[in-house]
Amino acid sequence: RAEPLILGIETSCDETGIGIVRGRTLLSNTIASSMDEHARYGGVVPEVAARAHLEALEPAIRAALAESGVALSDLDAVAVTSGPGLAGALMVGVGAAKSLAVSLDRPLYAVNHLVGHIAADILDADAPPLEYPTVALLVSGGHTSLLLVRDLTSDVELLGETMDDAAGEAFDKVARLLGLPYPGGPEIDRAAAAGDPGAIRFPRGLSRASDMADHRYDFSFSGLKTAVARWIEQREAAGEPVPVADVAAGFREAVVDVLVTKALAACRDHGVPRLLLGGGVIANRRLRDVALERAAAEGVTVRIPPLSLCTDNGAMIAALAAELVMSGRRPSTLRFGADSTLPV
Ligand code: KG4
Ligand code: ZN
């Protein structure tokens, strides 16, 4: 089968991502973010994100075409994230993708955002081909999911996910408690560098023996956030200064520990010696280091695509659609809508 030329549209959260791929080759990856507009609210505001997509889509598509030297008429197919994500934000991308596919008379592929994150790995030209099965840990401001991937196009199983906040969201909320700006992940990372990760031990969510029976691969970060808030309150009530670096380091350690512990438990339980990491929180140096170190000790190989492919982007959506086309999958009908809770 010839390598299909595909344009992918991603609008599930605050990034307007347009990607163009030819088969497994990345031609362009254009991203416009409305992050700055959300900063004063301390988190992504759905209505603001949807409006921003509406404004950013057309210029982003033009930029991606210019960057790749591709003409719209060259495209073999159009791909779009149909879920999960923010309903209004998704709808903007789905509407645009449908119009494009209809006007160009090309097939349209509606794809799952989480599976798209896994497909990002395929575009990493420096890495050997992805092998199956693999466990995937996806951590961002919107999701924290553990998946078992037997085949990217036909067999992805959700093992577990967060029961409350996403890991990135927890970083953002705790940063706020510490008076650090949004997005909080990079800020906490920076502050933690000067702290002692063992100075304060914060709780690891869903990690007790009984939790590991019922929620073995699930995560919970709201209790951790509350524990940090209580700890700070008590300090302040006692009139003592808050050691920001130690709190940041202790919090980060708790998040990283539980993410890596559960991901490696999934590898062990399923006899899978491969772990793929994805999502914007993978930018966290400590998470990478702990994952690499503990995985190596268990004989598990870790794959981490370049960060530009780990954060939300359109190229991963195009890449997944290219795999679907090359595996002979029929395109979507135009009757699908945005599904904020679309399962994998
Ligand atoms: O994938 P992403 O760029 O976008 C969405 O979730 O939409 O992830 C952004 C999230 C934010 O919550 C941000 O605070 C977090 O990733 N993040 C980090 C780091 N860099 C970004 N969290 C921890 N450590 C970091 N270095
Ligand atoms: Zn994402």
pLDDT in tens, 32-59: 999 999 988 888 999 999 999 999 999 9
- Asked if residue 137 and residue 212 are part of one domain, the reply reads yes
- Predicted confidence (pLDDT) per residue in 1-34, tens digit: 589 999 999 999 999 999 999 999 999 999 999 9
Query: Is the residue at 104 inside a domain?
Result: yes
**What are the structure tokens assigned to 333, written together?**
């009908």
Q: What is the pLDDT of residues 208-245, one digit of tens each?
A: 999 999 999 999 999 999 999 999 999 999 999 999 99
CB of residue 311 inside a 6 A radius of ligand 1: yes
Residues 111 and 139 in one domain: no
One domain for residues 211 and 254: yes
Q: Please check whether residues 93 and 146 belong to one and the same domain.
A: no
- pLDDT higher than threshold 90 for residue 62: yes
Q: What is the CA radius of gyration of the chain?
A: 20
Question: In angstroms, what is the span from residue 177 Cα to ligand 2's centroid?
Answer: 24
Q: Which pLDDT belongs to residue 1?
A: 58
Same domain, 33 and 111: yes
DSSP summary character for residue 162: B
Question: Which CATH number covers residue 291?
Answer: 3.30.420.40
Residue 173 has which token pair? Answer: 């909320």
Residues 195, 239: one domain?
yes
Domain contains 340: no
Q: What is the number of structural domains in the chain? A: 2
- pTM (predicted TM-score): 0.96
Range of the domain at 207: 130-304
Is 334 part of any domain?
no
| Burial readout 108-143 (b: 16 or more C-beta within 10 A, e: otherwise) | bbbbbbbbbbbbbbbbbeeeeebeebbbbbbbbbbb
Residue owning the nearest CA to atom 14 of ligand 1: 185
* Sheet with strand 25-33: strands edge to edge: 25-33, 15-22, 5-10, 77-83, 108-112
- 341 domain-assigned: no
In a domain, 183, yes or no: yes
Instruction: Determine, yes or no, domain membership for 202.
Output: yes
Compute the mean pLDDT over every residue in the chain, rounded to the nearest whole number: 97
291 and 136 Cβ atoms separated by less than 8 Å: no
Ligand 1 center to residue 116 CA distance, Å? 17
Distance 209 CA to ligand 2 centre (A): 30
113 and 67 in a common domain: yes
- Check if 277 has its Cβ closer than 6 Å to any atom of ligand 1: no
Instruction: Judge if 161 and 268 occupy the same domain.
Output: yes
Task: Answer yes or no: do 163 and 226 share one domain.
Answer: yes
Ligand 1 atom at minimum distance from 142 CA: 6
Long-range contacts of 41-46 (CB under 8 A, 24+ apart): 42/172, 42/173, 42/176, 42/182, 43/141, 43/169, 43/172, 43/182, 44/13, 44/14, 44/86, 44/141, 44/142, 46/86, 46/87, 46/88, 46/89
Neighbouring C-beta atoms of residue 153, cutoff 10 Å: 16
Ligand 1 pocket, residue 11 CB under 6 Å: no
| Residues 141-174: tens digit of each pLDDT | 999 999 999 999 999 999 999 999 999 999 999 9
* Dihedral angle sign, alpha carbons of residues 214, 219, 224, 225: negative
3-state helix, strand, coil in the chain (%, to 5): 45, 20, 35
Residue 331 maps to a domain: no
pLDDT at 90: 98
What is the 308 CA–ligand 1 centroid distance (Å)? 12
Q: Name the residue of 281, 286, 290, 311 to mutate for ligand 1: max ligand atoms within 8 A of Cβ.
A: 281
Residues 110, 164 within the same domain: no
**ipTM, 2 dp:** 0.97
Report yes or no on 53 lying in a domain: yes
pLDDT value of residue 43: 86
CA–CA dist 224, 202 (Å, integer): 7
Please give the torsion angle defined by the CA atoms of residues 133, 253, 228 and 139, in that order, rounded to the nearest 10 degrees: -30
**Residue 318: predicted pLDDT:** 98
260 and 184 inside one domain: yes
CA distance 107 to 336: 13
pLDDT tens track for 66-103: 999 999 999 999 999 999 999 999 999 999 999 999 99
Q: How many residues does the chain have?
A: 344
Cα of 154 vs centre of ligand 2, distance in Å, is 20
Do 22 and 4 touch, CB atoms closer than 8 A?
Answer: yes
Same domain, 167 and 282: yes
- pLDDT over 70 for what percent of the chain? 100
Which residues make up the environment of ion ligand 2, defined by Cβ < 5 Å? Answer: 140, 312
Q: Per the annotation, where are the binding residues?
A: 113, 117, 138-142, 172, 185, 189, 284, 312
Binding residues for substrate: 138-142, 172, 185, 189, 284
Q: Which atom of ligand 1 is nearest to the CA of 184?
A: 14
Cis peptide before 129 (omega within 30 of 0): no
